[in-house]
Every structure is written in C-alpha cells, then in structure tokens.
Structure 1
Amino acid sequence: MLVVAALALAAFGLHGRFPDPRDFLGALTGADYWWITLAVALQAVSLAAFAWQQRQILKAFGVRIGAGFTMAVTLARTAISISMPAGSAVSAGYAGRQYVRAGTAKEIAAASLIVSGLTSIGGLTLLYVAGGAAVLTRDPRLLTSPQPLAVVAGLALLTAAAVVTGRRLMRRSAGKSAGPARPRSGNRVAAFARRTLTSAREAWHAGAALRAREWIVGTLYYAVNWLTDLLCLAATCHAVGLPVGLITLSGIYLGVQIVRQVPLTPGGVGVVDTALVAGLTAAGATAATAAAAVVIYRVISCWMLLPIGGAAALWLRRPLTAARTTP
C-alpha cells in the first residue's frame, strides 16, 4: 500500500512535467550503463560512510559494534526513512532499539543519534560552504546576495549552538549536588514525560562530552555521505548525456536538500522528483533526459534500497551473537 501511495504521489507531483513516453524510454534505453554502474558504486560508498560514522560515534562512547551489524542497521533504517511518514524519526528510533539490543545503554544509543543528527547538519554545511566558494570564484557579485550566505551561516550556528549549550548544561549539572527526591506522581503521563526528559538530558550530556576530534570525524564522514550522493546524481546525468556542469548540478542538489527536509511525503516522493526535474530543465536539459536521469537516480538512491533494507531488517531479527555485534 505504501508503494502504491508513493507512486500515486509521484505521478501527481510530476503530472505535466514528463516528456513524451517514447522520448523518455529512448533516453532510458540509450543510457550508458558504465555510468550507471559508477552511480550504484557511489551510492554504496554513501551508505558505507553513514554506517561507518555510526560505528565510530558508538566507539567514541566505548561501545564496539561490528561493521556488518552497523551496515545492516543503516540499510534497514534507510528503507524505513524513505518509505514511511515521518520516516527520519521512525528510523532513528529503530536504530536506537537495535543498538540497545546489541548491548548499548539507552542513554548512549540516544546520544549517538543526537550526535549523528548534528554532524549531518555539519556535513551538509561543509558542502554548502564548498559549493558556495566554487560559485563565488566564478561570479563574485553573488556576495551581494544574502540568501546563500544566510543558509550556510544558519546551519553552522545551529550546530555550534547545540554543542556549546550541551557542554554548558553538562558542566552545570556536574557542579550541582543531587537534591532531595521529589515525590512521585500518580499520573502516568507526567511520569512518562519526566522519564523521557531525563533520558534526553542524559543523552545530550553524553554527546556534549565527546572530544572535538570525534565531532570533526563524524562531520567529515557525513560530508562524504552527502558528497557521494551528489556524485551519484552526477553519474546518472552523465549516463543520459545531460549537458549540466558539476557546479550547476551542486546548486540544484543543495537546493533540493532544503526542500527535502520538509517531510511532506515519505522519502520526498513527488517533491524531490519534481524539484530535480524542474532544476535540470531550467539548467538547459531536455525534458526527456532530465526525467530519465532523475528516474535512474531515484531508483538507485531510493527504490532499490527498499528491498535491500527489508532484507537487512529480516536479518537483524535473528538472535544476536558476539560475532555479529563485535569486530
């Protein structure tokens, strides 16, 4: 039902933007499959960078989990993220439960997800900075336009403020002695909210206690994750012969990422596809080649991951052993 709904949303979002079916099929069948193979390899590197980042963060907290187990969690949570409403939140909860199953404390699992989210913003910020610098070398007049600089500055300030605030809260709580125990409330909702806030505070403090090196490494891994996904799109464009430069394509990609953060549909189905097709055609591509490139990219980065992630989720349901969870 989710697949049918996603296809219906995609058809609605792309209505009137697809070219003649014969031109579209001609662009698909005429694609260079060496470039498509490269695109698949780049998407695999993107997922591997995400998995390795998770493993390194957990290692920084003193938790050792095997590479195969971490990769399986990454594939399963990616499939959840792109197939369910509010998929990012659901996939994060799923990953946290899997790490707890593997022997990680709840606070550490939650802290690793918080750190991962912040470093994701940092990695995307690095791409914005690098892309902005490349564009400015071609047209310095863009310095007078505040919008791109505001986006980069906002992302950087958000990450820095979260880290600094967490460190200060950690020091403040460490300097205070524990007060008298509060009387327990009979309200289950209040008790649940209290436990949730306590767990979130402990996770925040644990994440803020990481050294700067762990934050930098995590950010760089996420930058690789974003960059290889961008290069995957570039490879699919080359596969159908799109005459779009890498800098122009980077601008389209980074612009779509802003739209992608608004969870209007599972996996951005319809929204992302429409934005990419519109951006490529505005850059000079024909409707047939733009649609073919986007379809190939989305099959590799989205639809192909659903059965792979489902298989990984089934594998993770098996009883855990030390050989599967530790190197």
Structure 2
Amino acid sequence: MLSSTAEPPDAPRSWRSRRLRLAGVAVSVLVLAAIGLRGRLPDPHEFFVALTGAHWGWVAAAVVLQVASIGAFACQHQYLLNALGVRIRRRRVMAITVAGTAISISVPAGAAVSAGYSIREYERAGAPREIGAVSAIVNGLASIGGLALIYVAGGAVVVMYSSTASLTWRPLVIVGVLAALTFAAVALGRRLAEPPPSPSPSPTPSTAKQRGRVALYVHGLLVAAREAWRAGAGLRIRDWCAVVGYAALNWLTDLLCLVACTRALGLKVNLITLAGIYLGVQIVRQVPLSPGGIGVIETALVAGLTTAGATAIIASAAVLIYRLLSCWILLPAGGAAALFLRRAGTRQPVPIGTR
C-alpha cells in the first residue's frame, strides 16, 4: 500500500515540463542576444586579444561591485518589508531579488512580469498580497529617487570643486522631473491618507453578472492601487530616506562596476563622462525595445565610449565584461534562485505589525 506522502504520478511529468520551459527561456534569451548583437561586435580575433589583455585586478573589483549592487537592492527590499511590518529571512529576500531581476532582463515586459513574480513569492513567504504590491510600487519610486540623488549630489560636488568641468544638463533635467513627480506622488498620498474603508461584502453571482466581470476586475485593481499608494505614502520619512539610500547605493555600485570594467581595458575616460553615458543608457533602457535592453544597451554604451575616445574593439570588450556581470550571469543565478524558492515552504500571511 502506498504511503500518503508518495508523489502523485504526474509529479515527474510536471518536473520535466518545468525544465523544458526553463530551457526554452534560456534558448530564447540566447537567440535574442545573437540578433541584438549581430553586426555590432568587431573582428573576433582582435576582440579576443583585447579581452585576454584585460587587467584582472580591475575585473575582480568589478565583480565585487556588482555583488554589492545586488546586495544593496536586496537590502532595499528587506528594509521596506520590515518597515511595513513583515519579517522574511534575508536569504529568501535575496533569492526573490535575484530571480526577479533575472526575469526582468530576460522576458518581454520584464518589469511587470518581475513585479508580479516578486509579489507572489513574498506572499508565499508570509507577506500579505497588499504588502507585496506596496513593496513593488515603493521600490520603483525609490529607484527613481536613488538615481536622482546620486546625480544631483554628484553634479553639486562637481560644480563646487571644479569650475572648469562641463556637465550635460539635459539628462539631469529628465531625472529631476522624474524625482519631482515621485515626490509629488508621495506628498499627495500622505495628504490624502485616511483610515482604510471597511471592506465591502463580496459580490453575489447576480451582482457580478449585472456589473460585469471586467468592471469588477478594474474596480478591484483601482482599489488595490489606491490602498498601496496610501500605505506607501504613509511610511515614515526615516523609512523613505533609508530605502532611497539603498537604491542610490545600488545605482552607484553598478556605475562603479562599469568604471572598473573600463579601467580593466585601459580606458582613461573620466568619471563625469562615464556617469553621463551611464545615465543616458538608464534613460534609453526604459523604452522596452527588447528584453533587458539586449542589443540596445550594448550599442548605446559602445557608442558613448567610442565618442569619448575609445576604439570600437576596446569599448566592446569593456561593455562585454560589464554586461556579463550585470546581466548575463544573473540569468543562471536567477534560475538557481527560482529553484530554491520553489522548494521553499509556503508560510501563512503574517499580521502587519505596528511600527
């Protein structure tokens, strides 16, 4: 007689199906990368020679900086969850962060898919669904604020200590507008914050039929978005400063990773120029022309570096190392993290603590 803990007959088939889907995603990413990079790389032999001549001390520094960037991103998520009264183990938050990042850079509309995946995994880890939604919204706003913070602070330092330095103000204006909109959204949410209304009774089948399923679904989304907005805006100023600070550290270490990659290939592009190139790329990547900006980011970075005086071969080698660390290596790491999360248990949602 079979024990009650035996796996169902469909378990091996389901496991094989998941492995096939993962393999299909990996092949799709490789095909998209080949299409996006076709004709954009220099002669393979000269390119290989440039790579083998890289200064591996700088490459090691780039690896450390990229790990620090991912760690800061995970700390940003965990701090926010703690501020909202939810406690999740750090290794699980790190796994969700890495898996979500891998999804965002590997599938079309990756940011939305990644947000949905992260909300589901936080719910499995014990966070109520509304808290997962709040986390996704606030982290997005904090990322904009963090990017604006490092450029505004960096621009102020440059102007203060170097009267001869020239700044490109157009990207800074874009970031400033985004930061102003973020601040306005938070301020308006705090102004309109009020105790949540009592939950309305679930609609009966006849009511649902009268109002329409689509209307009910849209209404539910609007209510959830409103509550998430108010909950996020209701965070303490201290919590917002900490989350934005972690976001700024995430951006800064990623920028320094790019700097280390250029130094590894002997490029002498100054930090102000590299910061301008990096900011322009972050603005361009918001246009979802390809998953993870494959092909678009590489082209923009190579173009910026060659404009700054690098040769196409050296610029391409530096960009390849940077993208390997900031994008490609995250795909297998995200797959491993997703497998870890799949095997992790599901906890009951915990009550939201009082801060």
* TM-score, normalised with respect to structure 1: 0.90
Q: Give the 3 Å change call, closer, same or farther, for CA 100–321 of structure 1 in structure 2.
A: closer
Alignment of 1:188 with 2:213, yes or no, is yes
Q: Which residue matches 2:95?
A: 72
- Other-structure match for 1:47: 70
Q: Which amino acid aligns with 1:152?
A: V
- Tell me which amino acid in the other structure corresponds to 2:343: R
Q: Secondary structure of 2:208's partner?
A: coil
Q: Distance in 2 between matches of 1:141 and 1:249?
A: 14
Structure 1: distance between partners of 2:235 and 2:189: 11
Q: Are residue 201 (structure 1) and residue 223 (structure 2) matched?
A: no
Q: What RMSD in Å do the two structures reach over aligned CA positions?
A: 2.4
Distance 1:312 1:94, change over 3 A: same
Q: Which amino acid aligns with 2:33?
A: L
Is 1:240 aligned to 2:240, yes or no? no
Q: For 1:321 and 1:185, how far apart are their aligned partners in 2? A: 31
Partner of residue 218 from structure 1, selected from 223, 243, 246: 243
Task: Verify: 1:115 aligned to 2:131, yes or no.
Answer: no
For structure 2, the 5+ residue unaligned runs are 1-26, 351-355
Deviation at 1:244, TM superposition (A): 0.8
The alignment-based identity, stated in percent, is 57
Q: Structure 1 unaligned runs (5+)?
A: none
Equivalent pair of 1:122/1:159 in contact (CA under 8 Å): yes
Instruction: Note the C-alpha offset of 1:199.
Output: 1.4
Contact 1:35/1:239 (<8 A) preserved: yes
Query: Given the alignment, which residue of 300, 322, 326 partners 1:301?
Result: 326
CA distance in 2, matches of 1:218, 1:251: 24
CA deviations 1:119-156 (Å, max 9, x no partner) are 0000010122133234535457968x762452232022
Contact kept, 8 Å, 1:131 with 1:251, in 2: the verdict is: no
User: How many angstroms apart in 1 are the aligned matches of 2:170 and 2:264?
Assistant: 33
Q: How does 1:22-101 map to 2 (within 5 A)?
A: 22-101=45-124
2:253 corresponds to 1:228: yes
Contact 2:189 2:230 in 1 (8 A): yes
Q: What is the Cα deviation at residue 18 of structure 1?
A: 2.9
Q: Name the SS of the counterpart of 1:162 in structure 2.
A: helix
Report if the CA contact (8 A) 1:18-1:291 is conserved.
yes
Paired with 1:275 and 1:34, the residues of 2 have a C-alpha distance of: 26
- Which residue in the other structure is 2:30 paired with? 4
CA drift at 1:74: 0.6
The CA distance in 1 between the partners of 2:306 and 2:320, in whole Å, is 14
What is the CA–CA distance in structure 2 between the aligned matches of 1:140 and 1:167, rounded to whole Å? Answer: 42
> Does the Cα contact within 8 Å between 2:146 and 2:246 map onto a contact in 1?
yes
**Contact kept? 2:301, 2:319, Cα under 8 Å:** yes
SS of the aligned residue for 2:289 comes to coil
Q: What SS does the corresponding residue of 1:31 show, helix, strand or coil?
A: coil
Question: Kindly tell me: are residues 215 and 102 of structure 1, through their superposed partners in 2, closer, same or farther at Cα, counting changes over 3 Å?
Answer: same
CA distance in 2, matches of 1:84, 1:321: 26
Moved over 4 A (4+): 139-143, 176-183
CA spacing shift, 1:188–1:121, aligned 2, 3 Å? same
Match of 1:266 in 2: 291
Q: Helix, strand or coil for the counterpart of 1:317?
A: helix
The CA distance in 2 between the partners of 1:279 and 1:182, in whole Å, is: 56
Q: Secondary structure at the match of 1:83?
A: coil
Tell me by how many angstroms 1:293 deviates.
0.1
122, 130, 147: which is aligned to 1:124?
147
What's the secondary structure of 2:225's corresponding residue? helix
Q: What code does the residue aligned with 1:257 have?
A: Q
Instruction: Confirm whether residue 252 of structure 1 aligns to residue 287 of structure 2.
Output: no
- CA–CA distance in structure 2, aligned partners of residues 70 and 153 of structure 1: 30
1:182 Cα offset (Å): 8.9
Amino acid at match of 2:330: L
Whole-Å Cα distance in 1 between the matches of residues 296 and 158 of structure 2? 26
Equivalent residues of 1:132, 1:148 under 8 A apart: no
Tell me: CA distance 1:252–1:203, structure 2 relative to 1, closer, same or farther (3 Å): same
The answer to whether structure 1 residue 152 and structure 2 residue 175 are counterparts is yes
2:337 to 290, 312, 322: 312
Residues in 1 aligned to 2:46 and 2:200: alpha-carbon distance in whole angstroms? 72
SS of the residue aligned with 1:185?
helix
**TM-score between both structures, scaled by the size of structure 2:** 0.83
Match of 2:191 in 1: 168
Larger Rg: 2
